[in-house]
Amino acid sequence: MKSEPNEYSIDDLKRDRVAPWVGVRNYQARNFMRDEMRIGDLILFYHSSCENVGIAGIGKVSSEPYSDATQFERRGKYYDPKATKEKPRWMLVDIRFVKKFKRVIPLQELRQEKPLQNMITLRPGNRLSITAVTENEFQHIEGLI
């Protein structure tokens, strides 16, 4: 799960302990949260659009998917005029803090790891904020810290 640290960082999640993953406005990323994530699933917390891009820590899905309230906030940046409370368009899950890595594992380092060569996040042109990670990829990344 990708976030810009100036918006919400691994340190913010550590402080808050649990946070809703608000603001996802891509249907495929929404579908990952809505249809595939389950309570207890571990996530890699990825910092993007910053000086030190890479994986900063681990979180855990701590809720079933539910409606993202920011889609209804008329003056908010995530407002969606087509969404209604009866038919919400955007869903989210809560994420619980698990661990902050001692260092951010940089994108360039991840790209050099042969076991990660097929990782969706590392594919050229990938812009999704949420992508699936295989168990082997997850374990390999944990071994890098």
The pLDDT tens digits for 100-109 are 999 999 989 9
- Which residues lie across from 60 on neighbouring strands? 42, 96
Total number of domains constituting the chain:
1
CATH code where residue 51 lies:
3.10.590.10
Which tens digits make up the pLDDT trace of 6-55?
999 999 999 999 999 999 999 999 999 999 999 999 999 999 999 888 99
Record the tokens describing residue 47, joined without a space: 């910092």
Which tens digits make up the pLDDT trace of 77-116?
999 999 999 999 999 999 999 999 999 999 899 999 999 9
Q: Which domain holds residue 107?
A: 2-142
Q: Which DSSP string do the residues of 76-139 spell out, in sequence order?
A: STT--TT--SSS-S-EE-EEEEEEEEEEEEEHHHHHT-GGGTT-GGGSTT---S-----HHHHH
Task: Name which of 145, 59, 79 is nearest 110 in CA terms.
Answer: 145
